[in-house]
């Protein structure tokens, strides 16, 4: 709801300037969202992420996985992953998201946060392989979590709750001008899965 009692819709831009973020709210009924959550828990090849940060070998508590049309390579924090072939559930979700966003995606990064002690620090998804003004579609399953944006220059921040079964689109110059994060919270004791559908420009 805004100040005037009007309901927010997917057309509203959550960012005041320098980028576009659309929140669709739940796009799956609760029972379907829960079934996808359970299916993805067992069918995805979850692995603890390894990273080299300040020369130190780190193994994250959070688990991750990388899928795509081809064996796309995904590199961050000095480690590289090769995309695995789509599973049945991922293809179904990809088709649904493509219909709602009028956008084609060729890859998906998944994250599994076991509870609120796991999160993701401020970053932008501005890897060269995504190209400029890339569109990222983020689907959330499981625990509801807070998600925040911070402008790189003005430091303005915007937060929202990502509900289970919901869709969030980040587009335009969002990744150039804004950071985003999934803050940790001691109150959250149940797991969450996040899928970010992406488009890798040809490698
Ligand atoms: O878990 C989330 O909602 C965000 C994940 C994210 O920012 C990413 O995978 O780049
Ligand atoms: Fe991100």
For residue 169, the domain's CATH number is 2.60.120.590
Give how far Cα 105 sits from Cα of 17, 94, 199, Å: 25, 7, 5
Say if residues 124 and 180 touch (Cβ distance below 8 Å): yes
Return the best residue to mutate from 188, 194, 195 for the ligand 1 pocket (most ligand atoms within 8 A of CB): 194
In a domain, 9, yes or no: no
pLDDT band per the 50, 70, 90 thresholds, residue 141: very high
Region 105-117: mean pLDDT is: 97
Element at 177 (helix H, strand E): helix 174-177
Token pair recorded at residue 86: 């789509």
Ligand nearest to the CA of 124: 2
pLDDT, residue 1, reads 59
User: How many structural domains is the chain composed of?
Assistant: 1
pLDDT band per the 50, 70, 90 thresholds, residue 2: low
pLDDT at residue 43 tops 70: yes
pLDDT at residue 137 tops 90: yes
pLDDT band per the 50, 70, 90 thresholds, residue 6: low
**196 CA to middle of ligand 1, Å?**
7
In a domain, 150, yes or no: yes
pLDDT, residue 10, reads 81
In a domain, 26, yes or no: yes
**194 CA to middle of ligand 1, Å?**
7
Q: Which residues contact 3 (CB under 8 A, 6 or more apart)?
A: none
In a domain, 193, yes or no: yes
Q: Among the atoms of ligand 1, which is closest to the Cα of residue 180?
A: 7
Q: Whose CA is nearest to atom 3 of ligand 1?
A: 194
Q: Beta-strand (E) ranges in the chain?
A: 20-26, 47-53, 56-68, 73-76, 79-82, 107-113, 120-123, 136-142, 145-151, 157-162, 166-171, 178-182, 192-198
Question: If you search the block for the tokens 């057309």, which residue do you land on?
Answer: 11
**174 CA to middle of ligand 1, Å?**
14
pLDDT at residue 159 tops 90: yes
In a domain, 1, yes or no: no
Question: Where in the sequence is the domain holding 37, given as residue range(s)?
Answer: 20-198
DSSP state of 128: G
Of 4-8, 29-33, 166-170, the range with the lowest mean pLDDT is: 4-8
In a domain, 12, yes or no: no
**122 CA to middle of ligand 2, Å?**
8
Q: What is the rounded average pLDDT for all residues in the chain?
A: 93
Q: Which residues line ligand 1 (CB under 6 A)?
A: 109, 111, 120, 125, 138, 147, 162, 180, 182, 194, 196
Instruction: Dump pLDDT digits (tens) for 65-96.
Output: 999 999 999 876 667 889 999 999 999 999 99
Q: Among the atoms of ligand 1, which is closest to the Cα of residue 168?
A: 3
Instruction: Dump pLDDT digits (tens) for 45-68.
Output: 999 887 777 788 888 889 999 999
In a domain, 56, yes or no: yes
CA distance 13 to 24: 11
Q: Among the atoms of ligand 1, which is closest to the Cα of residue 145?
A: 3
Token pair recorded at residue 79: 């480690």
In a domain, 2, yes or no: no
């Amino acid at each position: 709801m805004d100040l005037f009692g009007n309901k927010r819709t997917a057309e509203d831009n959550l960012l005041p300037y320098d980028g576009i973020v659309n929140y669709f709210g739940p796009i799956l009924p609760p029972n379907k969202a829960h079934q996808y959550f359970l299916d993805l828990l067992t069918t995805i090849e979850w692995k603890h992420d390894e990273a080299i940060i300040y020369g130190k070998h780190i193994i994250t508590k959070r688990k991750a996985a990388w899928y795509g049309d081809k064996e796309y390579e995904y590199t961050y924090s000095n480690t590289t992953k090769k995309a695995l072939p789509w599973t049945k559930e991922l293809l179904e979700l990809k088709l649904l998201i493509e219909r709602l966003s009028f956008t084609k995606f060729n890859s998906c990064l998944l994250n599994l946060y076991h509870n609120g002690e796991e999160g993701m620090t401020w970053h932008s998804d501005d890897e060269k392989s995504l190209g400029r003004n890339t569109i990222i579609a983020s689907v959330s399953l499981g625990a509801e979590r807070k998600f925040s944006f911070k402008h790189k220059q003005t430091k303005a921040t915007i937060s929202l709750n990502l509900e289970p079964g919901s869709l969030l689109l980040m587009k335009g110059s969002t990744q150039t001008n804004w950071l985003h994060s999934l803050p940790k919270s001691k109150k959250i004791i149940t797991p969450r899965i996040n899928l970010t559908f992406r488009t890798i420009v040809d490698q």
